[in-house]
């Protein structure tokens, strides 16, 4: 079993708020120096960094639009600013553009696939080199219970998230022998800005009869990023109060 080097950086995309911010904080609490990536919410990213530093951790806010940028630049900046290579990548940045398929225009399809799937692939590809070199790495893709399960109005989102799970399995297979694990977490109904307009009836349909918290998703990511999860790869951990059961 390989162990995380003493200094290692975790890069979390879309970490200015919600699940991403909780993940950044959980990884920092586990000893990772964290690059808190954000696209537009600088204040949110600064708050995440401040919370990490207040708890005694190390973090920097890192601007970059994963859907339209150069991942190489993000990895370079994270390494320069935190002084170690990125050995954990959490592909969390995501968007929604909901609508029934019959009414969904190409733009809404493209933006969701581009951000939630293509960007995650490009980031993962960029992360492989330092991880393979280090013989240690953790990639965690934030998928969704939507994808494995239907959700009317989210054909684009479901396609992207199901694609993410397929990609997770194949890349996990490709790099397993180098000590690099690739897994996904699939949150169900989690209380964040993205789900604030979800009707109460949806919550009642969850076997646990409540929404999850970003911290509960972050705890799953923290486990998958840990040395303890070194033999766990290619899997999807559902954090959904039993929705997919």
From residue 80 to residue 119, the character string flagging contacts with other proteins as x (rule: CB under 8 A) and all else as - is ----------------------------------------
- Per DSSP, the residues of 65-107 read -TTTS-HHHHHHHHHHHHSS-EEEEEE-------B-GGG--HH
Is the Cβ of residue 90 or residue 128 nearer to other proteins in the bound state?
128
From 38, 136, 157, 231, active-site residue: 157
Candidate segments 9-17, 129-137, 212-220, 230-238, binder of other proteins by CB under 8 A: 129-137
CB neighbour burial string for 59-73, b if at least 16 within 10 angstroms, e if fewer: bbbbebebbeeebee
129 binds other proteins (CB under 8 A): yes
Pair of tokens at residue 94? 């995501």
Is the Cβ of residue 62 or residue 134 nearer to other proteins in the bound state?
134
Among 73, 174, 227, 228, binds other proteins (CB under 8 A): 174
Is 38 tagged catalytic? Answer: no
- Minimum CB–partner distance for residue 124 and other proteins (Å): 14
Is the Cβ of residue 135 or residue 210 nearer to other proteins in the bound state?
135
Candidate segments 115-123, 138-146, 170-178, 205-213, binder of other proteins by CB under 8 A: 170-178
Is the Cβ of residue 76 or residue 133 nearer to other proteins in the bound state?
133
As beta bridge partners, residue 140 has: 90, 183
132 binds other proteins (CB under 8 A): yes
Residues 6+ apart with CB under 8 A from 103: none
- Residue 179 phi, psi (nearest 5): 75, 15
- Minimum CB–partner distance for residue 169 and other proteins (Å): 16
175 binds other proteins (CB under 8 A): yes
| Displacement of CA 124 from its chain's centroid (Å) | 11
3-state SS, one letter per residue, for 108-125: HHHHHHHHHHHHHHHHHH
Cβ(212)–Cβ(240) below 8 Å: yes
206 binds other proteins (CB under 8 A): no
Size of the site for other proteins (CB under 8 A): 7
Cβ(38)–Cβ(16) below 8 Å: yes
Residues catalogued as catalytic: 157
Residues lying near other proteins in the complex (CB under 8 A) are found at: 129, 132-133, 174-175, 177-178
């Amino acid at each position: 079993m390989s162990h995380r080097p003493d200094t290692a950086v975790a890069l979390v995309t879309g970490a200015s708020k919600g699940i991403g911010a909780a993940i950044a904080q959980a990884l920092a609490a586990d000893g990772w120096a964290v690059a808190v990536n954000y696209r537009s919410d600088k204040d949110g990213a600064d708050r995440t960094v401040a919370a990490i530093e207040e708890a005694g951790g190390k973090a920097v806010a890192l601007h970059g639009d994963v859907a339209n940028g150069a991942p190489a630049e993000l990895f370079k900046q994270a390494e320069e600013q935190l002084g170690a290579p990125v050995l954990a990548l959490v592909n969390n940045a995501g968007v929604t553009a909901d609508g029934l398929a019959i009414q969904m225009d190409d733009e809404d399809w493209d933006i969701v696939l581009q951000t939630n799937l293509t960007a995650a692939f490009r980031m993962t590809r960029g992360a492989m080199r330092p991880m393979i070199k280090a013989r240690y790495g953790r990639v965690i893709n934030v998928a969704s219970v939507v994808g494995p399960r239907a959700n009317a109005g989210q054909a684009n989102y479901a396609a992207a998230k199901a694609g993410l799970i397929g990609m997770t399995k194949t890349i996990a297979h490709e790099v397993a022998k180098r000590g690099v694990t690739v897994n996904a977490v699939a949150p169900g109904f989690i209380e964040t800005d993205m789900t604030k307009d979800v009707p109460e009836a949806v919550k009642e349909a969850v076997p646990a009869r409540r929404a999850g918290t970003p911290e509960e998703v972050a705890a799953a990511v923290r486990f998958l990023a840990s040395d303890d999860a070194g033999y766990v790869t290619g899997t999807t951990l559902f954090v959904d109060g039993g929705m997919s059961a």
